[in-house]
Amino acid sequence: MPPHPARAAYFLDFDGCLVAIAPRPDAVVIPRGLVQMLDRLYHRAGGALALVSGRAIADLQGFLPGLNVPMVGCHGAEHARGRGRVTRLRVDRDILAQAIAALHAAAGPVPGFLVEVKPVSVGLHYRANPALEPEAEAIMGRIAKAAPGFHLHQSKQMIELRPDGADKGQAVAKLLSEASFQGRCPVVMGDDLTDEPAFAQANRRGGVSVKIGQGATAARHRLRDPQQVRHWLNIWGAS
């Protein structure tokens, strides 16, 4: 079991962890009481709770109105203290714009593809037709070759072109150096390949790493689904 909230620092993914993955990024369903539960645990932990997501922070804030906790977006490329100003990793905007235009041209007309544009990255979803994975890999591979300063990362039925230096593990390490997180035991929860660097950070520091769902992982613990995650977060917030 994780340590008491007074000694823990919580780092929580959003999609596939707090909420179920939806067919489209904009179709996610927010469970009733989620904001209140997170707010309660945030205060129980003395402010040592952050969302660490591949989503843009603007999306997280839109889905979770009223939640005033630290947020990391775009896999570590965005940071915000609660509802405050969002700081972003500096990227070459011209290269990103060219990549976005090329991806729309190549994938936009193909049924089953969905292009997701974020503040500092762009992704290609093929959840609607998993058989498109080889074509998605080929398209994104061509685009990445013309995008210095960016690299590809595979997620669940999505391939994303994201800036070098964006990493959830580095984001967790940075937060752990801040006053409200310092000296606490990290508790990292996530469901995807992008969470593995954060799991590694928790493991190196003697913390708790929790993989949600199936799949190979460096995490040392596992929960079945977001419903089970919320069950435990609710218990910890009340402890």
Q: Are the C-beta atoms of 99 and 116 separated by less than 8 Å? A: no
User: CA angle, corner 30, sides to 37 and 9, nearest 5?
Assistant: 40
With bands split at pLDDT 50, 70 and 90, how would you rate the model's confidence at 239?
confident
The torsion angles phi and psi of 23, rounded to 5 degrees, stand at -60, -30
Give the per-residue pLDDT at 5.
84
Secondary element (H or E) of residue 201: helix 196-204
Domain ranges for the chain, please list them: 8-89+166-238, 93-163
53-87 pLDDT, tens digit each: 999 999 999 999 999 999 999 999 999 987 778 99
pLDDT at 92 over 80: yes
CATH number for 8-89+166-238 (one of 3.40.190.10, 2.60.40.10, 2.40.50.140, 3.40.50.1000): it is 3.40.50.1000
With bands split at pLDDT 50, 70 and 90, how would you rate the model's confidence at 3?
confident
DSSP string computed for 35-60: HHHHHHHHHHTTT-EEEE-SS-HHHH
* Residues annotated as catalytic (active site), given as ranges: 13
1, 51, 21: which is closest to 225 by C-alpha?
A: 21
Give the per-residue pLDDT at 85.
84
The torsion angles phi and psi of 225, rounded to 5 degrees, stand at -165, 175
Q: Are the C-beta atoms of 10 and 48 separated by less than 8 Å? A: yes
194-229 pLDDT, tens digit each: 999 999 999 999 999 999 999 999 999 999 999 999
pTM: 0.94
Give the per-residue pLDDT at 1.
63
Query: Domain 93-163 falls in which CATH fold?
Result: Alpha-Beta Plaits (3.30.70)
- Retrieve residue 99's tokens: 């990549």
The torsion angles phi and psi of 209, rounded to 5 degrees, stand at -115, 130
126-156 pLDDT, tens digit each: 999 999 999 999 999 999 999 999 999 988 8
